[in-house]
């Protein structure tokens, strides 16, 4: 039966796939509707299971076997070898292969998500239609759409970066969904850099590195999320570099995300940085009030579709968009919590309810003041132009407010002195330190200055 099935499989999956993946397998038994296949490595069986299980089951059925699913045994060929040629001893470092065959967990041929194990599963909610576009993300969105359409996009890789919760993972999943829908037989592989490392280490441990390479080089699109994770991990970086190059050479599209631009990722090899920079680099900017409101409106619509009895009062979404940080995940979580409370308490979602049940989120968010906010408020308070506050003028009437703004930036944000320096027209961190100390000292004597600073702080915290 297996011989006949193989001949047919060679036709249906093509000689390359057949030689690489199917030929190493042996059919050892058929019991209770399960065909037992012996595979020399788990990588091969995983791959076959994900890509060819359905095909094998139907070919076996056509060949006259009653089969519903496949079961894989790892290392069984070694057992066969022992029978066929007992003299052929397994090499010492290959001991696991000679061990009694382990039966892998049953794998129903039809219910497995494709590539679920090599890659990470895709969230069905992360689609383009659920992604709200605004100024801060429109470029990233446009680039992602282009890649999702497939075809020559003119840049490889697409490198998306931005802070936590700004939609990088959402966009990557959306690309994968879109591309897969347009190219049903294409192999789209999405995984985090952490999973990439884990797979790689596992392949090293199990001496299946060739299979590992084979699988990664066989995909049509590779997406690696949060690539900053492999910084400082030398052998993983090395493998990533080669995988990357092999795919780019074959014209396969790559999409990468990170929390910052390639050049800013410490511990990432220079050659990888330069490779990553060859394509299109786009960043997702922190959300604006308008975008947050748009996202809240869209999420509210989908929550309301499921919980039509929940009413949402006027001004609540605006309040949330104002008071909750730029991280969309936090925004979403807040709205979800409001809906849950309102539904349980059978209350309308009002401003009071929002304040009550989101107290923790709103409070932590209160402390988040941006350097921009500080500069604007200080300039306004002293009635000077923002450009002068940041610019080089040394006149006392701008220099002192500038130092106050530096002081507040140091006190109220978590930014480092060099970062603050950059935001004050590229000043050196020692200048910032000097400004901060100066205000600290002056406030001891000068009560009206201290009062000014306190007022500004209260304004910024409001
Ligand atoms: P990141 O990967 O950048 O940390 P995610 O893609 O995980 O962020 O996004 C966090 C959450 O916010 C997800 O639930 C995502 O669906 C949602 N989200 C982010 N940006 C948007 C957007 N523009 N429109 C709709 N939902 C968004
Ligand atoms: Mg993410």
Which atom from ligand 1 is nearest to the alpha carbon of 331? 12
User: Helix-strand-coil percent breakdown of the chain, rounded to 5?
Assistant: 60, 10, 30
Res 93 pLDDT > 60: no
Kindly list the distances between the CA atom of residue 157 and the CA atoms of 174, 255, 278, in Å, as whole numbers in the listed order: 16, 5, 7
Start-end of CATH 3.30.300.180 domains in the chain: 2-103
- State in Å: Cα 287 to ligand 1 middle: 11
Ligand nearest to the CA of 225: 2
What Cα–Cα distance (Å) separates residue 160 from each residue in 258, 322, 356, 368?
7, 26, 37, 25
Which fold would CATH assign to domain 371-461? Chromosomal Replication Initiator Protein Dnaa; Chain: A; (1.10.1750)
| Cβ–Cβ < 8 Å for 70, 49 | yes
pLDDT tens per residue, range 21-67: 888 888 888 888 899 998 877 777 887 888 889 889 988 988 888 88
Q: How far is the CA of 192 from the centre of ligand 2 (A)?
A: 9
Lookup result for tokens 């994770």: 229
The Å distance, Cα 230 to ligand 1 centre, comes to: 22
Cβ-count burial 399-435 (b if 16+ within 10 Å, e if not): ebbbbbbbbbbbebbebebeebbbbbeebeeebbeeb
Which of 329, 333, 334, 336 has the most ligand 1 atoms within 8 A of CB, as the residue to mutate? 329
- pLDDT the model gives residue 100: 40
> Which range is least confidently modeled, 111-115, 125-129, 351-355, 376-380?
111-115
For residue range 185-212, what is the model confidence (pLDDT) as tens digits?
Answer: 899 999 999 999 999 999 999 999 999 9
Tell me the pLDDT of the chain averaged across its residues. Answer: 85
Q: Model confidence over 143-188: pLDDT tens digits?
A: 999 999 987 888 999 999 998 999 999 999 999 999 999 998 899 9
Q: What is the mean pLDDT of residues 132-143?
A: 96
Which ligand sits closest to the CA of 297? 1
Which residues, including other chains, have CB under 8 Å from residue 8's CB and lie 6 or more apart? 59, 62, 63
Contacts (Cβ under 8 Å, ≥6 apart) of 266: 231, 232
47 Cα to the center of ligand 2, angstroms: 26
Atom of ligand 1 minimally distant from the CA of 298? 25
User: What architecture (CATH level 2) is domain 2-103?
Assistant: 2-Layer Sandwich (3.30)
Share above pLDDT 90 across residues of the chain, in percent, rounded to a whole number:
56
Whether domain 289-366 has CATH 3.30.230.70: the reply is no
Per residue in 96-106, pLDDT (tens digit) is 333 344 444 44
What are the binding residues for ATP?
Answer: 165, 167-169
Give the residue among 164, 154, 186 at the shortest CA–CA distance from 257.
164
Distance CA 355, CA 315 (A): 12
d(C-alpha 113, C-alpha 117), whole Å: 8
Cβ–Cβ under 8 Å, residues 92 and 99: no
pLDDT digits (tens, 9 = 90+) for 315-342: 899 989 988 877 899 999 999 999 999 9
DSSP state of 230: G
Give the nearest ligand 1 atom to 225 CA.
2
Question: Residue 423: which of 414, 411, 415 has the closest Cα?
Answer: 415
Which residues of the chain are in CATH 1.10.8.60 domains? 289-366
Which residue intervals of the chain bear CATH 1.10.1750.10?
Answer: 371-461
Q: How confident is the model at residue 411 (pLDDT cuts 50, 70, 90)?
A: confident
Q: What's the pLDDT score for residue 232?
A: 93
**pLDDT in the model for residue 165:** 93
Which listed ligand is nearest to 160 at the C-alpha? 1
Q: Which residues of the chain form CATH 3.40.50.300?
A: 135-284
Long-range contacts of 105-111 (CB under 8 A, 24+ apart): 106/34, 106/69, 106/71, 107/49, 107/53, 107/69, 107/70, 107/71, 107/72, 108/68, 108/69, 109/49, 109/53, 109/54, 109/56, 109/57, 109/68, 109/69, 109/70, 110/53, 110/54, 110/57
Closest residue by Cα to atom 23, ligand 1, is 132
- 272 Cβ inside 6 Å of ligand 1: no
> Using a 6 Å cutoff on CB, does residue 165 contact ligand 1?
yes
Ligand 1 atom at minimum distance from 166 CA: 3
CA of 297 to the centre of ligand 1 (A): 14
**Residue-level pLDDT at 156:** 95
ipTM of the shown complex: 0.99
Instruction: Dig out the tokens for 125 from the structure.
Output: 């909610």
Single pTM value for the model = 0.62
DSSP string, 369-385: --HHHHHHHHHHHTT--
- Residues whose CB is under 5 A from ligand 2 (ion)? 168-169
Q: Name the E strands within 19-178.
A: 26-31, 34-39, 69-74, 102-103, 158-162
Binding-site annotation: residue ranges: 165, 167-169
pLDDT at 32: 85
Residues 6+ apart with CB under 8 A from 106: 34, 69, 71
Closest C-alpha residue for ligand 1 atom 13: 329
In the reported structure, the alpha carbon of residue 138 is separated from the centroid of ligand 1 by a whole-number distance in angstroms of: 14
Q: What is the pLDDT of residue 258?
A: 96
In CATH, the number for domain 135-284 is: 3.40.50.300
């Amino acid at each position: 039966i297996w011989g006949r099935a193989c001949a047919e499989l060679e036709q249906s999956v093509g000689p390359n796939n057949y030689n690489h993946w199917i030929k190493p397998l042996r059919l050892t038994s058929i019991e209770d509707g399960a065909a037992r296949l012996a595979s020399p490595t788990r990588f091969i069986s995983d791959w076959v299971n994900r890509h060819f299980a359905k095909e094998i089951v139907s070919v076996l059925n056509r060949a006259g076997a009653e089969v519903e699913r496949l079961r894989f045994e790892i290392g069984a060929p070694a057992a066969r070898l022992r029978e066929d040629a007992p003299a052929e001893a397994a090499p010492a470092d290959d001991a696991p292969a000679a061990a009694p065959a382990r039966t892998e967990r049953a794998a129903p041929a039809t219910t497995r998500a494709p590539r679920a194990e090599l890659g990470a599963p895709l969230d069905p909610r992360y689609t383009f239609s659920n992604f709200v576009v605004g100024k801060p993300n429109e470029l990233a969105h446009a680039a992602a759409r282009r890649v999702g359409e497939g075809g020559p996009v003119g840049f490889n890789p697409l490198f998306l970066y931005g802070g936590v919760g700004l939609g990088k993972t959402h966009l990557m999943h959306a690309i994968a969904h879109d591309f897969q829908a347009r190219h049903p037989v294409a192999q789209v592989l999405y995984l985090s850099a952490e999973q990439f490392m884990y797979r790689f280490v596992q392949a090293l441990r199990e001496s299946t590195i060739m299979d590992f390479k084979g699988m990664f080089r066989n995909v049509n699109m590779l997406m690696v999320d949060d690539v900053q994770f492999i910084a400082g991990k030398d052998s993983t970086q090395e493998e990533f570099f080669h995988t990357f190059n092999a795919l780019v050479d074959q014209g396969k599209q790559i999409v990468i995300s990170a929390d910052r631009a390639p050049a800013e990722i410490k511990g990432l090899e220079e050659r990888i940085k330069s490779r990553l920079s060859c394509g299109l680099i786009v960043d997702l900017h922190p959300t604006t009030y308008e975008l947050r409101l748009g996202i809240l409106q869209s999420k509210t619509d989908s929550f309301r579709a499921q919980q039509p009895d929940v009413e949402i009062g006027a001004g609540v979404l605006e309040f949330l968009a104002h008071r909750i940080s730029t991280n969309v995940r936090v925004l979403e979580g807040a709205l979800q919590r409001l809906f849950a409370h309102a539904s349980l308490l059978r209350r309308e979602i009002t401003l009071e309810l929002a304040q009550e049940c989101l107290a923790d989120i709103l409070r932590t968010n209160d402390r988040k003041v941006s350097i921009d906010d500080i500069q604007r408020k200080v300039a306004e308070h002293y009635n000077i132009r923002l450009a002068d506050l940041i610019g080089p003028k040394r006149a006392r009437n701008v220099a002192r407010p500038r130092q106050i703004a530096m002081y507040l930036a140091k006190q109220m944000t978590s930014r480092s002195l060099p970062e603050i320096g950059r935001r004050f027209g590229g000043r050196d961190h020692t200048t910032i330190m000097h400004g901060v100390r100066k205000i600290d000292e002056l406030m001891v004597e000068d009560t009206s200055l201290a009062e000014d600073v306190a007022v500004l702080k209260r304004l910024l915290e409001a």
